[in-house]
Amino acid sequence: MPVSTYTYPNGFRLIYEKSNGSIPVTNMQIFVDFGSAYETDDSRGAAHFIEHMCFKGTKRIKESKQIQRTYDRVGAYINAYTDKRYTRYVTKCDSNYTESLMNLFADMLFNSLFRENDCAMEDKIVIEESSKSSDNSETELVDRSEEMLYNGSAFAYPIDTLAYHKKQMDCARMNELYKLFYQPNRISISIVSDLSLSHIKQMLASSPFAKLQNSAPYHNTINRCITPQSDTAYYIKEKITDKTTHISLGFRINREDRHAAIVLRTLIGGPMSSRLFIKLREDNGLTYTSSAYVTYYDIYGDLTLYAETDSTKVMSNSNGKKGVLPLMLDVINDILKNGVTVEEFEFAKGYLKGTMNGELDNNTLKCKHNGAHFLEYPDEPFYEYTKLYDAHYKNITRKEIDDVARKYFRKDNLSVCLIGGKTPKPNQVKAAIKLMYRH
């Protein structure tokens, strides 16, 4: 269905798509133009902490349990997520309750109280959440890898980490940032619903989202300047309590190449027919988990190969053959030397088309796609989720995939990260990288 947008006089924006069918369900996702990339050294962790505090009580609804009961009473799904680029508040509900939950969200986003005792309590919860993440070697690997990939820019910093909580968050400072960033002209709502556009617009017109005036504008911008690489970057950490080692090989990519990079990622480390799965698991029995993924923030991103293996099999197998890291490098080297085959190229595009078609009835996914696009890529043409494959992937050629591989799979564009038990010596890892790029 066509997507409509409407901006109210105060700058608040609606992105609307009519849902397929007549099931009375509304998906609402609210995007606040404030993520961890906006933070400075004196406010690390603020975006995530403010997200938590929006559920702790408002001028109208004093207690957090009352907020939760309001959603529970009507069986609505409710959640929130902090990203590096934005904060997102999500609900899925019976359409009869759309307006009441819309107004509750507005109350949370504009009238949260930030009481000292609530801040102190929630600080403990955030620390507990960060503690679990810090104990997870895969999460740590992603954080350390992105520090190298986005070094110099605001995207190098984790969204939240224990290091941000050496002392209690300053409640007054958090409230100040909340009031600066949570303004109507920095907020958009993406809705996929059986309700009509005119009905939704009418609901919003009488809500605080459209009626509230903005305070003085705040011009804090995101630092997007990445420090140029001159050679491979490394992060190797041994954790004696781990029995496995997590490995990532990450390459910086530019925004304009992200769709070709996604096709390349699919054939390298997507489904069970991908190169990494066959090479590491089917042919050598070395890993249960391997993948490749593409992440992008605004003007750039990364294509990263990932694997988890027994710590004794990183460099060599028990039979004396190559271990996981050299085999991952072989995958990259073969693509650089020989390119991708016709068969795997067609497989990757077919896989993408099939999985995307299989998600056409996923209104939650459409809701996120619509809202995120208008916030992150306002300068690019917009395509409904149903048209994404034809718009971005259908006409990609095999030559484009080979060109993207050669453009980015460079020694001076690579970040290598290993975390786990009994990691190899740094000189062993560097020698393997040097050997691969010598061929």
- For 421, phi then psi, to 5°, come to -75, 135
Mean pLDDT of the chain: 95
From 437, 412, 404, 409, select the one nearest 228 (Cα to Cα): 412
What's the pLDDT at 266?
98
What's the pLDDT at 319?
81
The per-residue b/e assignment along 362-401, b for 16 or more CB within 10 angstroms, e otherwise, is ebeebbbbbbbbbbbeeeeeeebbbebbeebbeebebebb
Rounded to an integer, what is the distance from CA 386 to the centroid of its chain?
21
User: Which single residue is written with the structure tokens 């993948």?
Assistant: 291
Distance CA 298, CA 226 (A): 12
Which positions ≥6 away from 164 have C-beta within 8 Å? 44, 45, 130
From 273, 367, 317, 417, select the one nearest 77 (Cα to Cα): 367
Which superfamily, per CATH, for 233-438?
Metalloenzyme, LuxS/M16 peptidase-like (3.30.830.10)
Distance CA 337, CA 334 (A): 5
- For 71, phi then psi, to 5°, come to -70, -45
Q: For residue 149, what are the CA distances in angstroms to 76, 156, 249? A: 39, 7, 10
What's the pLDDT at 220?
75
Which positions ≥6 away from 306 have C-beta within 8 Å? 141, 246, 247, 248, 269, 289, 290, 291, 292, 293
Region for residue 25 given its phi and psi (left: phi exceeds 0; alpha: psi -120 to 50; beta: otherwise): beta
Pairing mode of beta strands 13-18, 3-7: antiparallel
What's the pLDDT at 439?
66
Rounded to an integer, what is the distance from CA 84 to the centroid of its chain?
8
Which positions ≥6 away from 232 have C-beta within 8 Å? 411, 412, 414, 415, 416, 430, 433
What's the pLDDT at 422?
87
* 233-438 has the same fold as 3-211: yes
Domain boundaries, the chain: 3-211, 233-438
Query: Is there a contact between 68 and 188 (Cβ–Cβ < 8 Å)?
Result: no
- For 371, phi then psi, to 5°, come to -70, -40
Tokens standing for residue 88: 């997102």
Query: Is there a contact between 280 and 287 (Cβ–Cβ < 8 Å)?
Result: yes
Domain 3-211, CATH: 3.30.830.10
- For 77, phi then psi, to 5°, come to -85, 135
Region for residue 322 given its phi and psi (left: phi exceeds 0; alpha: psi -120 to 50; beta: otherwise): beta
What's the pLDDT at 287?
93
Distance CA 159, CA 37 (A): 8
Give the chain's residues under pLDDT 70.
439
